[in-house]
Structure 1
């Protein structure tokens, strides 16, 4: 009898609100392509689970006790033996929050009001190496990038250049 390796996407979930965490676990476990390896209620426990289990994706709350999800994303992105991709879930969807998550290495960012099927799709996309950001986040994120870049939005045209030719 041969045993097939488990090819499902492995996931660690960290969320400090138990009821919401349980809902995320249920939504992901309904998918035949995802298996939840561990749950955590704070960022430090999430980081410990990521280091130990090395999941394909970590679904993390933006704000948690002991360590925020963005801090965990930063640690994961700068630790050479960790290939875990981080998907942030947050009730805070202002452009500065999205920017911080992406800057810290998150592969995706979703509003906590996401439909369960879209959450599953986002985990699959992150595991495949894609970036997940809802289209309605793009305008605010672009404004935030421009605001923080300290570069002029319009290129300087050299003096005397005739643009009509």
Structure 2
């Protein structure tokens, strides 16, 4: 059953100023889904659900009011979908929150569009609570929550984009290698371990990759890797 008029702060939200606590805004038009996610996340000591919304049109004002670290964003909503809500956040705010798309089916075409729009990753609604919590912690730390096989399926059949090839050509050999490893779904630490370099070195390379590609986050960089033909379809 879909909820209506459900954009509101959650009463009794704790102070999110502490560095150890990640504040989350839950956005989904299904009241049952919102309630479930709030219950699951509230059980985690380092996560705090500060608000919820039933439609993408409520996201921007709630983000401005509540300043969440992460938005769990449904893609299919009646008035404004999660894709447009994500674009709105990126276009309006100088420091938008991280966005994780929550979806019923990981092969949903809307997921790919949301990632292109700037979402930091995606996860299935029915994923275990530990996996959802892990995704939130990952994107807060600057990593991404990607399922490379699912992204590869979503990218299959899409043509290589000349502008993506041009942007990727600006990368050094090492930066291209880093981008390919990111497209495999590896975290910064996994990349560092595989290349036998420090975590800080990987973070520096990732920062250079994002800057040269002109993207806002590592997920958009991975999408561009597929568009440039650098990741195997």
Q: Normalized per residue, which structure has more helix?
A: 2
The answer for the alignment partner of 1:56 in structure 2 is 69
In structure 1, list runs of 5 or more residues that go unmatched. Answer: 152-165
User: Is the 1:56–1:127 Cα contact (8 Å) retained in structure 2?
Assistant: yes
Residues in 2 aligned to 1:64 and 1:4: alpha-carbon distance in whole angstroms: 28
Q: Residue 42 of structure 1 is aligned with which of 51, 55, 59?
A: 55
The answer for the alignment partner of 2:118 in structure 1 is 105
Shift of 1:43: 1.0
Q: Residue 66 of structure 1 is aligned with which of 55, 59, 79?
A: 79
Query: RMSD between aligned alpha carbons?
Result: 2.1
Q: Could you tell me the TM-score, scaled by structure 2's length?
A: 0.58
Higher relative contact order (CA 8 A, sep 6+): 1
Residues in 1 aligned to 2:51 and 2:108: alpha-carbon distance in whole angstroms: 30
Shift of 1:47: 2.3
2:160 is equivalent to residue 149 of structure 1: yes
Number of residue equivalences: 147
Cα 1:141–1:29 shift into 2, 3 Å: same
Residues in 2 aligned to 1:45 and 1:97: alpha-carbon distance in whole angstroms: 19
The answer for the alignment partner of 1:158 in structure 2 is none
Cα 1:17–1:149 shift into 2, 3 Å: same
Q: Residue 151 of structure 2 is aligned with which of 110, 133, 138?
A: 138
Residues in 2 aligned to 1:4 and 1:26: alpha-carbon distance in whole angstroms: 18
Q: Normalized per residue, which structure has more strand?
A: 1
In structure 2, list runs of 5 or more residues that go unmatched. Answer: 1-14, 163-233
Residues in 1 aligned to 2:156 and 2:116: alpha-carbon distance in whole angstroms: 14
